[in-house]
Structure 1
Amino acid sequence: MPMPRDTRRRALLASGASLWLAGCASGAPEASLLQAGPARLPDTRQLDLRDPASGRVWRIWVQQPAGPAPATGHPVLYVLDGNAAFALAAQLARNEAARPAQMRADSAIVVGIGHPGDAVVHPAQRQRDYTPPAPGGSATPEAGGADILLDFIARELQPRVARAFSIDPQRQALSGHSFGGLLVLHALFTRPALFTRYAATSPSVWWNGAQVLQTASQFMQAHATAPRPFRARLQLRVGSLEQPRAAPTAARAAVQHERRMIERTQALADQLEALHWPELRVHMGILPGVDHGGAMAPGLIDALAWAQQPR
């Protein structure tokens, strides 16, 4: 008895899919999906750079912008946790550049700063590199290396980017999430002229007894009177679910209470906004419906827009 048409069609589709996924078991020359070449990001370069001063190595990604430079030069967005965040930030910049000319912002250079290796997150290295040293202390192999990384960015990375591209010195942004956001705040409070725009998403303000809040107080005291030798913008973002709430375990509830992400980040924003310094603009935002990890992606969207804003 002939096979019904629908049955024959389903059988043909199933057999075709099986052959494709198996790399054509019939012996045809097509490569299997798992044998295909690795994907590459367009207009992107990657290299591992050794810091001559510290000997540490960071993996750097650079996506060059589409089209000619604006009259003032390209804005630059430096993205921490590059292993996890660079590809997304670079694609967001490409998406923006593909919009109609009358609707798109100035095309941005995206620079990722990460660590050698294919892991999405390098917990030990990011704690080492993104946390500030204890007051009166110095960096250790485990933590407190924020100034070592910022020195590398200032002495090695930023000059390389400036030599390679036409950049806008008034639109240089540093973006980070979690420990990366902590480094962004430390950079603003200790060397506010290193960048002109700072974007801290879910910053770990709780680190070491909320040490960065003490650094913020020192920053406010040091620059209490004008003139101030910087002009900076700070964007703060935190997820709406990053607040103490019912937790499945007592240990998790204790962590949430200790960190108090929304409370502490909002308090910092309020303090800085109350200064009314023309040299420092602050924008605080709560990202709806996301927790700590989920805040990274919408934070990057806002950080890119922050970097591309007109002067």
Structure 2
Amino acid sequence: MHTSAVFAPAEDAHAPNTCQSIVRTSRGDFLVQVAWPLKWNTDRTLPANETAHQEISTMYSTVVVGVGYPMPPAKAIYDFRRGPDLTPPSRNGEYDAPLGSDGKPRTDISFGEADQFLEFIANDVKQYVETILFPHVSLVASGRRALLGHSYGGIFALNALYTKPELWSTVVAASADIEFNKGKLVSEQETDFRAKTLVGPAPSLIITYGDEPQDLIRGPTESEADYQRRVAYAEESGTRDAAKKLVERFDGHPNLKAIAVREFPGEDHGSAAVTGFQHGVVEFLTRGF
């Protein structure tokens, strides 16, 4: 049965209290997207009442900042620039490149520029958010700060924890290759971090991941092709053991306020991003992790 409803022409949709900016840099263009609480004004200021000023320090008053690549020229969220931007440098300049479809190490991606990308975030993006977008909300600059990253972003998060621990209250590394580049992240950046004497408060670390291939069981009605597809999307074998070893290395260490590991059965490498971030955000906002 037809109704009398009349639809206006479709138009682009935008979530309320969000904004974005394309940032031109010598390392290419980046897309910075920002969201702030719905109870704040659309111009990124606080409502003019005392209650709102008091509520800014609660778990519901959080500014979220995402840094990625504009589309176009990026053809997908997982742009090739992630390779260099999100992986830490190797002291001998060597990197363990993933294998291509021909079984040989890929030569179309590069690595090792995470420190430069981190400087861009720690300086340019941080200043933009604090002084340009929220100059009248002082706790945006002085409040607790968390960094979340998944997969290569998880590697980046660990490197950011190890090299700039003073920037973060909490770091969430979801589905990270902890032993990236044949263990160089552990033997170089992590080792340097454990040898540091921190000036400020120690940050916390949350590690999350999904199922590994050996955890999967083929269902009674599942085809071999579907099962192998699930296996291909699983976490790398050894992810769980690497997380346990990291916890052991930091047992009682003063440079981490707390460390937690959360496994998500039934999730693969991709879907573990959503559950990992959700868990990390809840831990950060509601439990002060």
What residue in structure 1 maps to residue 98 of structure 2?
A: none
Q: How does 1:42-81 map to 2 (within 5 A)?
A: 42-51=16-25, 54-67=26-39, 68=46, 71=54
Q: 2:167 aligned to 158, 175, 194, which one?
A: 194
Please report how far the alpha carbon of residue 242 of structure 1 lies from its aligned counterpart in structure 2 after TM superposition: 2.5
The answer to whether the 8 Å contact 1:176/1:200 transfers is yes
The answer to whether the 8 Å contact 1:245/1:253 transfers is no
Cα distance in 1, alignment partners of residues 71 and 280 from structure 2: 25
Gaps in structure 2 of 5+ consecutive residues: 40-45, 47-51, 96-107, 219-223
What residue in structure 2 maps to residue 124 of structure 1?
A: 80
Q: 1:175 aligned to 145, 148, 151, which one?
A: 148
Corresponding position: 1:216 with 2:190: yes
What residue in structure 2 maps to residue 285 of structure 1?
A: 262
Please report how far the alpha carbon of residue 264 of structure 1 lies from its aligned counterpart in structure 2 after TM superposition: 0.8
Structure 2 letter corresponding to 1:143:
F
Please report how far the alpha carbon of residue 66 of structure 1 lies from its aligned counterpart in structure 2 after TM superposition: 2.9
Task: Name the CA shift for 1:229/1:105 in 2 (closer, same or farther; >3 Å).
Answer: closer
Task: Name the CA shift for 1:65/1:198 in 2 (closer, same or farther; >3 Å).
Answer: same
Tell me which moved more, 36-45 or 277-286: 277-286
Cα distance in 1, alignment partners of residues 183 and 53 from structure 2: 41
What residue in structure 1 maps to residue 278 of structure 2?
A: 301
The answer to whether the 8 Å contact 1:198/1:233 transfers is yes
Cα distance in 2, alignment partners of residues 289 and 257 from structure 1: 11
Cα distance in 2, alignment partners of residues 290 and 256 from structure 1: 8
Q: TM-score, normalised by structure 2?
A: 0.73
Task: Name the CA shift for 1:141/1:156 in 2 (closer, same or farther; >3 Å).
Answer: farther
Q: CA RMSD in A?
A: 3.4
Q: TM-score, normalised by structure 1?
A: 0.68
What residue in structure 2 maps to residue 146 of structure 1?
A: 114
Q: How does 1:68-107 map to 2 (within 5 A)?
A: 68=46, 71=54, 105-107=59-61
Task: Name the CA shift for 1:138/1:278 in 2 (closer, same or farther; >3 Å).
Answer: closer
Please report how far the alpha carbon of residue 211 of structure 1 lies from its aligned counterpart in structure 2 after TM superposition: 2.1
What residue in structure 1 maps to residue 104 of structure 2?
A: none
Cα distance in 1, alignment partners of residues 269 and 167 from structure 2: 27
Please report how far the alpha carbon of residue 56 of structure 1 lies from its aligned counterpart in structure 2 after TM superposition: 2.3
Task: Name the CA shift for 1:230/1:135 in 2 (closer, same or farther; >3 Å).
Answer: farther
Q: Which structure dedicates a bigger proportion of its chain to strand?
A: 1
The number of equivalent residue pairs is 249
SS at match of 1:234: strand
- Runs of 4+ that moved beyond 6 A: 138-141, 246-250, 252-258
Please report how far the alpha carbon of residue 254 of structure 1 lies from its aligned counterpart in structure 2 after TM superposition: 10
Corresponding position: 1:110 with 2:64: yes
Gaps in structure 1 of 5+ consecutive residues: 1-12, 21-28, 75-103
Structure 1 letter corresponding to 2:36:
Q
Task: Name the CA shift for 1:256/1:229 in 2 (closer, same or farther; >3 Å).
Answer: same
SS at match of 1:193: helix
Please report how far the alpha carbon of residue 302 of structure 1 lies from its aligned counterpart in structure 2 after TM superposition: 1.7
Please report how far the alpha carbon of residue 136 of structure 1 lies from its aligned counterpart in structure 2 after TM superposition: 4.1
Q: 2:125 aligned to 138, 157, 164, which one?
A: 157
The answer to whether the 8 Å contact 2:18/2:36 transfers is yes
Cα distance in 1, alignment partners of residues 22 and 94 from structure 2: 25
Please report how far the alpha carbon of residue 308 of structure 1 lies from its aligned counterpart in structure 2 after TM superposition: 2.0
Aligned-residue identity in percent: 27
Q: How does 1:220-235 map to 2 (within 5 A)?
A: 220=194, 222-223=195-196, 228-235=199-206
Structure 1 letter corresponding to 2:77:
V
TM-superposition CA deviations, 1:226-283 (whole Å, max 9, x none): 56444211111111x1354579799x989979651111122212322x1342753111
Task: Name the CA shift for 1:257/1:48 in 2 (closer, same or farther; >3 Å).
Answer: closer
Cα distance in 1, alignment partners of residues 233 and 13 from structure 2: 39
Larger Rg: 1
SS at match of 1:161: helix
Cα distance in 2, alignment partners of residues 70 and 131 from structure 1: 39
Task: Name the CA shift for 1:244/1:211 in 2 (closer, same or farther; >3 Å).
Answer: farther
Task: Name the CA shift for 1:110/1:257 in 2 (closer, same or farther; >3 Å).
Answer: closer
The answer to whether the 8 Å contact 2:205/2:256 transfers is no
